[in-house]
Amino acid sequence: MTRNLSLALLIGVLSVNACGSEAAVKIPAPAFDQPAAPGKLQTAVVAGGCFWGVQGVYQHLKGVKSVLSGYAGGDGSRADYESVSAGDSGHAESVQIVYDPAQVTYGQILHVFFSVAHDPTQLNRQGPDTGTQYRSAIFYTSDEQKKIAEGYIAQLDKTGAYPRRIVTRVDALKRFYEAEGYHQDYLLNHPTNPYIVINDLPKVRNFEHTLPALYVAKPVTVSASTREGAQAAPKATTKAAPAPANSGAMMMAAAEKPAEKSTQKPAQKSTEGGAMMSAAGASGPSKTEGPLPNLDGATGWLNSRPLTPESLRGKVVVVDFWAYSCINCLRTMPYVNAWYRHYKDSGLVILGVHSPEFAFEKDIANVREAVKKFDIQYPVALDNEMAIWKAFNNRFWPAHYFVDAKGQIRGHHFGEGKYGKSEREIRRLLTEAGAKNLPDPLDAAAGVGVAAPADTANVASPETYVGYARAENFVSPGAFARDAKKTYAIPKTLTLNQWALGGPWQVAREHARLGASPGRIAFRFKARDLHLVLGPATPGKPVRFRVTIDGAPPKADAGMDVDADGNGVVREHRLYQLVREKGPVSEQEFVIEFLDPGVDAYSFTFG
């Protein structure tokens, strides 16, 4: 069916009550629920068909501060729309809901989910969309959320509210990956799109009429929640930018012409990704996304004089957005280095754009040391003001943009993985530019140590920030004393992905600083690798620490930055690998005890 429906056809389709949108079902509220009570903002993640409509429904729920469209259930290497649309990435189109527990409860969020947001008796389809990416699922972030969800499903099945049994899956949330910018606020921005008119706007109307006590007329938007600081940190292997959602104007093909869903089942997309980065041997050139933006926002340059789009004309360029403490960037770096060395004589230029996530990454001495440590020989632009990031409208670390010899962006890839496909795009663009006798394709270039590929099949713990601006699952008694000194305590028991501070700490927006020794951080995790970004509060003053796993030294499971007894020293601001399990991965309790004061702790990552 053509996307541009005629008016007559649209009216005819809308007259069929069963088409697209599922009818609302009046159901009782959950018998077991969290009581409404003041507290820090909470997060819920659900999936029920196309995320455009589910996001549009929850944007009208009282007490909601932010609703993001995204992907949950798979790993970061394929957390993009093209890959998810293939139906075999393991992801579901999902929404992340950040809410005020004093105004709305988790049970009320599920009440909306089961009543008006989707049909929970359809597992791998909703309306016209079919495939596992459209499955009905609840991704819980705590044992209490799991209990409420499972109890509500059992309650609704018992009441016989639906003609068939509920098939909604209840799974633990591993990671939430924020969807591309053009998917955010899609219903609000495209109210006349035929797919929205037929499938999604009726859900919003059903919400207003079926659950009026929970409905608010003014929707919360992604851009507004970002400006107001209410948006939760996206749980993505490829991290979202701290820049405003409406900044930048690059990637014009995506921003101005987003992929629109048909009112019928969408065609299956290639598991190789999609048109943005076609595989070698495909017919026709890859799509053009727009010209390479200006680079004059760089605050400095390493390994090169300042570059411009004009000076790069005639070269094939890979623009690599990275930050030196980002574990995903470190795992990608061996491949980027290998591309540069293998193809530089054939006309390839790698342009590293170092866009800092943390304040210490703005220090040119720190970046220069990282460039030396990782043997980066290609040009690096320092993007301390995020000006180049915004010019590309970028949102992720790492991100690769592929630019042809005419200065046009011909494709991109966000996150880890798909290195073979990226290399094929490089070879394709070099061939278009007239390169002859290209060297044979690279063999595997995977790194070792901290740069080794993640064991994604066994990662059950998300990136977790220590600073209060993006911290989640923090369970030390009492709330953070923001920007003030406080002595914290570690509870006797932690559940998976809960963490706590012990000792005198001052927690700021992006890090926590230990005021006096000893001080501890505990985290119950499940992953092969555990990393922690650390740095000395006073340059040149090292801080000793000791690591234990389930109360014992790590021995053979020690990471690169500790010995077998768990001893290590923080000497500079960077990512420290503290655990690398050699045997089967299991859930364990990690504790790091600092033997000296004056350490800054930023974020945990896992692999």
In the chain, count H helices and then E strands. 14, 26
Dihedral angle of Cα 315, 318, 322, 328, to the nearest 10 degrees: -150
50 is catalytic: yes
| Rounded-to-integer distance, Cα 245 and Cα 84, Å | 22
Provide the 3-class DSSP secondary structure of residue 435.
coil
Are 98 and 49 in contact by the 8 Å Cβ rule? The answer is no
| Rounded-to-integer distance, Cα 381 and Cα 187, Å | 37
| Rounded-to-integer distance, Cα 582 and Cα 555, Å | 10
DSSP codes, 88-116: -SS-EEEEEEEE-TTT--HHHHHHHIIII
Q: Is 167 exposed, middle or buried (0-12, 13-18, 19+ CB in 10 A)?
A: middle
With a CB cutoff of 8 Å and minimum separation 6, the contacts of 491 are: 475, 476, 477, 500
Q: Tell which residue, 565, 463, 571, 375, has the closest CA to residue 174.
A: 463
Q: Tell which residue, 247, 235, 241, 242, has the closest CA to residue 98.
A: 235
Residue 165 has a CB neighbour count (10 Å cut-off) of 12
Strand 92-99, strand 42-48: pairing? antiparallel
Are 599 and 505 in contact by the 8 Å Cβ rule? The answer is no
Q: Angle of helix 327-343 relative to helix 419-432, nearest 10 degrees?
A: 30
Query: How many Cα atoms are found within 13 Å in the side-chain-facing hemisphere of 406?
Result: 9
Q: What are phi and psi of 345, to 5 degrees?
A: -75, -10
| Rounded-to-integer distance, Cα 153 and Cα 461, Å | 26
Are 25 and 84 in contact by the 8 Å Cβ rule? The answer is no
Q: How far is CA 194 from CA 5, 24, 180, 190, in A?
A: 7, 20, 21, 9
Strand 348-354, strand 380-382: pairing? parallel
Q: How far is CA 115 from CA 23, 44, 72, 89, 258, in A?
A: 9, 17, 22, 28, 29
The catalytic residue positions are 50
